[in-house]
A and B are shown apart, each in its own frame.
Chain A
Amino acid sequence: ETGVTQSPTHLIKTRGQQVTLRCSSQSGHNTVSWYQQALGQGPQFIFQYYREEENGRGNFPPRFSGLQFPNYSSELNVNALELDDSALYLCASSRWAGQGNYEQYFGPGTRLTVT
């Protein structure tokens, strides 16, 4: 166990709907990253938040958005869901201290199915 929790565990949505996924960071961590892992693939970086500000974004459209709260928990929001959004969504937290040694701790993920 890493201390990173995600909710819900599983979710089924219909194309066009909106979804919010939640992540609670490990205690003492100030950075959270979100990844999408399609079946049979490695995780793909969506974006990262550091002290409530976006700090890097991958090749995902603007309908993927996020928030980080003062307690460093985070949300991932996806609007206008498409079938290809079906995947495992992973949250990872770390303690960012500038360029240097760090480690991302991953949560168990939320399995999203879009029908």
Chain B
Amino acid sequence: AQSVSQHNHHVILSEAASLELGCNYSYGGTVNLFWYVQYPGQHLQLLLKYFSGDPLVKGIKGFEAEFIKSKFSFNLRKPSVQWSDTAEYFCAVNPNFGNEKLTFGTGTRLTIIP
């Protein structure tokens, strides 16, 4: 069965610092990849997704992610974080067949210090 690893459980950064959150998955076939964010007290919302094409994907709020197939990775990046980026971030994978079952990682809690 496929799995998703997010090795950073809690990341603390100062405003304007650069961010990279790791995501690795274990599935050998074609996959669709997602990053979701959950702001305090809010529902999960999509930051960005990769289905095919350019492996560098740009999402909302200045986030981007790069799909590196040889490393089974889909790391999330932002060049300069803001206090409002404080949230829980989840990476998710869907093997490209039949349905939209998403397998999520355990999440990374990001705290931005003003």
Q: How many residues of B contact A (CB 8 A)?
A: 24
Are the CB atoms of A42 and B106 closer together than 8 Å?
Answer: yes
Are the CB atoms of B99 and A50 closer together than 8 Å?
Answer: yes
- Give the docked Cα–Cα distance between A63 and B66 (Å): 40
Interface of A is mostly: loop
A81 lies within 8 A of chain B by Cβ: no
Q: How many residues of A contact B (CB 8 A)?
A: 32
Which of B14-22, B43-51, B70-78 lines the interface with chain A? B43-51
CB distance from B61 to the nearest CB of A (A): 16
Interface residues, chain B, CB within 8 Å of chain A? 1, 4, 36, 42-46, 49, 51, 90, 92, 96-107
Interface residues, chain A, CB within 8 Å of chain B? 2, 4, 31, 33, 35, 40-45, 48, 50, 55-56, 58-59, 90, 92, 94, 96, 99-109
